[in-house]
Amino acid sequence: MSRISSQLAGTLGLFRLGLRSGWLGVAGTILLVAGLITAVAISIDSLFSNLAERQQYEATLGESPASQAFNGRGYGLDTIGGITAYEVGFLGQLLFPLLAVHLALRHTRREEEAGRTELVTATRVGRLGPLAAGLLIVLFTVTAIGILTFAGTASVGLPLAGAGWYSVGTAALMLFFASLGLVLGQVAQSARTGYLAGLAAVTAAFLIRALIDGSGWDAVWASPLGWFAEFRPFGEPQVWPLAAFLVSAVVLVAGAGAIAVRRDLGAGILATPAGPERGRASLGTAMGLSWRLNRTAILAWSVTAILWGGVFGILTQEMAELVEADPTVLEALGVDSGSDVVTSLAVVVICLAATATAVQGMGRLISEESSGRLGTVLATRISRKRLWLGWWAVVGASAVAVQLLGCMALGLVSWAVLSESAAFSTAMEVGFGYAVPVVFVAAMAALLRSIGSRWSVLGWLLVGWIATVGFLAETLQLPEWARGISPLHLVGQLPQDELNVAAVLSLAAAGGALLVLSVGLMSRRDLAAG
Amino acid sequence: MRKSLSENLVQAQGLVKTFGAFRALDGLDLHVAEGEVHGFLGPNGSGKSTTIRALLGQLRLNEGQADVFGLHPWRDSVEIHGRLAYVPGDTSLWPGLTGGECIDLLGGFQGSMDSQRRDELVERFELDPTKRARAYSKGNRQKVALVAALSCDVELFILDEPTSGLDPLMESVFQKVIAELNREGRTVLLSSHILAEVEALCDRVTIIRSGTTVSTGTLEELRSGTLTTVEATTGHRPAGLEGIDGVTDLQYEDHPHGVRIRLVATHAAMPQAVAAVTAAEPTDLVVRPPSLEQLFLEHYQESGPGVGAAEPAGGES
Ligand SMILES: Nc1ncnc2c1ncn2[C@@H]1O[C@H](COP(=O)(O)OP(=O)(O)OP(=O)(O)O)[C@@H](O)[C@H]1O
Ligand SMILES: [Mg+2]
């Protein structure tokens, strides 16, 4: 007993330290989650004030397998709360878990990687201190999210019991994924590896659930994201998902603790094998370096995009069957064919993977610069301009490749399940149509990065905004100018709309201008370290 | 003493660099002549790394004239970089790459790495190039950076505390390699806190403090600007010591065999002072020049050296 308590020594101090150094991230996470849910609730409350409208919603979108695949199962869809939960579903099921994993890694592995954990654990801090402090930060954050979400949804006028259950469910969902993040923080030796593993886990959980819900299989237990909807806060609430989340979280945290007391500080649990004695000649070029340092992330995003495309390709069949049974659905959804509904939503996700590739690839230069490695490379014969452009070219090309690979997977699988080659050509047209907006985001990321490392975060906000406009523009009744901030929206909602060629050309020109500007800024300013 | 302008590879005059309100460099001068190993010394935070980074074109100077190979560090940085190799003060390597890959990466960018020399240096520094960078010890990380820089075929090496973390064996390998390079006629700018290394390698040194050059010259010249202690036991009191310009701290003490004398003399006053003491028939005589540590401590201290520097800072050639 005293052994455990000595290993936990210093936890409270570390918890306060973590809050002080990471308060912005903690506050941002809390406000983002509670704010998103409340905003959707407010909007739904004004959009669907009368029962008949809600019943129509339940009969169309609520029944559509594609919507269920994206949003998760809907319960109590004739109530404001039910529709709110359903609409939050898609974005929420990706965003909330990813934020939770990020929060956990930010407060454990990243501190350790930076060498700060080594400093503090040399004082009177026990071996479990850093992990326990990370857990406290997670608990603090999810509790605050629960309370604020409850306050927000209740103030919109949702029934208290439903609002309560929904808030508890959201907090439990995030606690579960944060616990997973704590385990990843113990296993992975670098935070980046942890993030990628977390992304893989969230993608897998989402796709498994999407497949099950889209196909109507009776297997909601198979994915933690399936449990989330099964709280049924605005239908008939169930307790078992809460128990499932809490028990799994406890098991995960215990696992993380078991690893933490056994492993070496600074290490993961996998030993790094020896590697090549020499570097390839390409390593000494701007593009070679960019590829080498970004390739793991690029591969991870490619696999994500391909999986998304593939799984939603399978779901086109469900949608086609629905349309065959009831052609009026087409009109209600404003599309020509069932597979278009799936394509238009799946492609948003694929574009997110592509833009994330771009923003992450440019963001990689932050640690390169702050560690002084960029300075060391630039102390050689290569000019800033060449390094910058070479790096960007690899990042931009990979982003487009991720985009096209995802759309190709979507197109090929829909072609296979529908036996319609048109499905493939539509998917590829959409893929090419959004290629320029993706490149534009890459250029924007380059510009933000060239201004300074603090600005890079705006690139992620842009990706987040693209997601928000893609999934929730109608729900949140966003004004046109706000939608226009998303470059995807500017070229039109594909494949329903015609591609806006003028917008594509302007975006290409603007992207080129941003890139030129970023080169100018980069070659003019001081390097942060070196 | 100082070589003429055309032979200076690095020529910096009145450098000023501010970070917000803070003046990291405040009128700093640095002249590195072709073919010399030039020591660059100063207390922590005095601006050595900042100067070096400005010379590499990583920082833009607020004021002052700097040129390297007669070129402008900011505008012509790429051309300059092709002719030099650099070891940064804080070596950070790419965590996922092996040491060998890091070396070849930098060599590829540099473009003039001699791969035979690279292998030879890997051997001499006893480096295992197959380890991942994150698994290296601090000293081994430093070796990677050293091998990458020292195997380049360049005219100038800029080394910012290159041996921090090296063990004494490796330190001596480093000194041998630098001495060899210098014999081949290559120039080295060496920032260092290791005085033995400076004494063994450097032809000339520049000492800075708070962003300003306080002295520059050969070690002998620096020594000549400082005080020497003389201690002796003589049969009788020497005459005329009090009258010598530059003799201070004169102390007499009675002793069974005569008088015990202790005095401190400047370089210029030495011959006269020693002559006066010798005339008094000493039974023992100790002349103690300041140790290197004392020498530098005097220059490092904010109050300034007790005596004038070898050459006034900021003087024109
Ligand atoms: N990017 C920066 N922003 C603000 N201040 C800086 C920056 N870089 C350096 N400084 C300040 O400039 C001063 C000189 O720093 P520099 O790194 O050149 O010192 P140094 O002589 O190399 O010291 P050391 O011997 O410790 O390596 C320090 O006070 C440092 O804090
Ligand atoms: Mg320094």
pLDDT in tens, A382-403: 999 999 999 999 999 999 999 9
For chains A and B, CB pairs below 8 A equal 129
Shared-domain flag, residues A176 and A312: no
Instruction: Please list the residues that pair with B206 across neighbouring strands.
Output: B40, B216
B102 touches A at CB < 8 Å: yes
Reply yes or no on whether the pLDDT at B44 is more than 50: yes
From the list A274, A283, A524, the residue facing B108 with the nearest CB is: A283
pLDDT given at position A96: 96
Q: Select the residue from A380, A382, A387, A524 to test the B interface by mutation, using most B Cβ atoms within 10 A.
A: A380
- Binned at pLDDT 50, 70 and 90, residue B235 comes out as confident
Reply yes or no on whether the pLDDT at B304 is more than 50: no
Shared-domain flag, residues A202 and A253: yes
Shared-domain flag, residues A296 and A263: no
- Binned at pLDDT 50, 70 and 90, residue A232 comes out as very high
Q: What's the average model confidence in pLDDT over B75-88? A: 90
Is B190 within 8 Å of B38 (Cβ atoms)?
yes
Is B64 within 8 Å of B14 (Cβ atoms)?
yes
Q: What's the average model confidence in pLDDT over A209-234? A: 93
B135 touches A at CB < 8 Å: yes
DSSP secondary-structure letter at A455? Answer: G
Q: Does the CA dihedral A74-A75-A78-A82 come out positive or negative?
A: negative
Hey, where are the domains in chain B? 5-83+155-222, 227-288
What is the average pLDDT value for chain A, to the nearest integer?
A: 91
ipTM exceeds 0.85, yes or no: no
A457 to chain B, minimum CA–CA distance in Å?
Answer: 23
pLDDT tens, residue by residue, B99-146: 999 999 899 888 889 999 999 999 999 999 999 888 899 999 999 999
Burial of A383 (0-12, 13-18, 19+ CB in 10 A): middle
Shared-domain flag, residues A260 and A296: no
Burial of A240 (0-12, 13-18, 19+ CB in 10 A): exposed
Weakest-pLDDT range from A240-244, A263-267, A437-441, B50-54: A263-267
pLDDT tens, residue by residue, A23-49: 999 999 999 999 999 999 999 999 898
pLDDT tens, residue by residue, B242-297: 888 888 888 888 888 788 999 888 888 888 888 888 888 888 888 888 777 877 88
Highest mean pLDDT among A52-66, A406-420, B3-17: A406-420
Percent of chain B, pLDDT > 70? 93
Q: What's the average model confidence in pLDDT over A187-205? A: 91
Reply yes or no on whether the pLDDT at B162 is more than 50: yes
Q: How far is the CA of B44 from the centre of ligand 1 (A)?
A: 8
From the list B104, B111, B129, the residue facing A283 with the nearest CB is: B104
B21 touches A at CB < 8 Å: no
Asked whether B80 lines ligand 1 (CB < 6 A), one says no
Asked whether B8 lines ligand 1 (CB < 6 A), one says no
Residue that is last in its domain, among A212, A243, A270: A270
Residue that is last in its domain, among A270, A297, A318: A270
Q: What's the average model confidence in pLDDT over A432-444? A: 96
Strand order in the sheet with B37-41: B84-87, B156-160, B187-191, B37-41, B204-209, B212-217
Q: Which residue has the tokens 């959009």?
A: A47
Distance, in Å, from the CA atom of B121 to the CA atom of B114, rounded to the nearest integer, reads 11
A4 assigned to some structural domain: no
Structure-model confidence comparison of residues A4 and A242, the more confident one:
A242
pLDDT given at position B303: 55
Tell me which residue range forms the domain holding A303.
285-525
Shared-domain flag, residues A235 and A319: no
pLDDT given at position A530: 66
Atom 17 in ligand 1: residue holding the nearest Cα = B49
Max CA pair span of chain B: 75
Q: How far is the CA of B232 from the centre of ligand 1 (A)?
A: 46
Atom 9 in ligand 1: residue holding the nearest Cα = B50
Which residues are CB-neighbours of A499 under 8 A, at least 6 positions away?
A429, A433, A491, A492
Instruction: Identify the closest residue of chain A to B108 by CA–CA distance.
Output: A284
pLDDT tens, residue by residue, A73-110: 999 999 999 999 999 988 899 999 999 999 999 999 99
> Which residues of A fall below an 8 Å CB-CB distance to B?
189-190, 272, 274-285, 288-289, 292-293, 371-373, 375-384, 524-527, 529-530
Is B223 within 8 Å of B195 (Cβ atoms)?
no
Atom 25 in ligand 1: residue holding the nearest Cα = B44
Weakest-pLDDT range from A129-143, A220-234, A344-358, B228-242: B228-242
Return residues with CB closer than 5 A to ligand 2 (ion): B 49, 89
Task: CATH number for B5-83+155-222: choose from 3.40.640.10, 3.40.50.300, 3.30.70.100, 3.90.180.10.
Answer: 3.40.50.300
Asked whether B206 lines ligand 1 (CB < 6 A), one says no
CA B88 to chain centre: 16
Secondary structure (3-state) at A112 = helix
A95 assigned to some structural domain: yes
Secondary structure (3-state) at B65 = strand
Q: A279 vs B97: CB contact, 8 Å cut-off?
A: yes
Q: B60 vs A526: CB contact, 8 Å cut-off?
A: yes
Residue that is last in its domain, among A201, A235, A270: A270
DSSP secondary-structure letter at B132? Answer: B
Indicate the number of domains in chain A.
Answer: 2
Asked whether B48 lines ligand 1 (CB < 6 A), one says yes
Shared-domain flag, residues A145 and A215: yes
- Binned at pLDDT 50, 70 and 90, residue A516 comes out as very high
Is it true that domain B227-288 has CATH number 3.30.70? yes
Reply yes or no on whether the pLDDT at A352 is more than 80: yes
pLDDT tens, residue by residue, A120-177: 777 777 788 999 999 999 999 999 999 999 999 999 999 999 999 999 999 999 999 9
Shared-domain flag, residues A264 and A298: no
Which amino acid appears at position B29 of this protein?
Answer: D
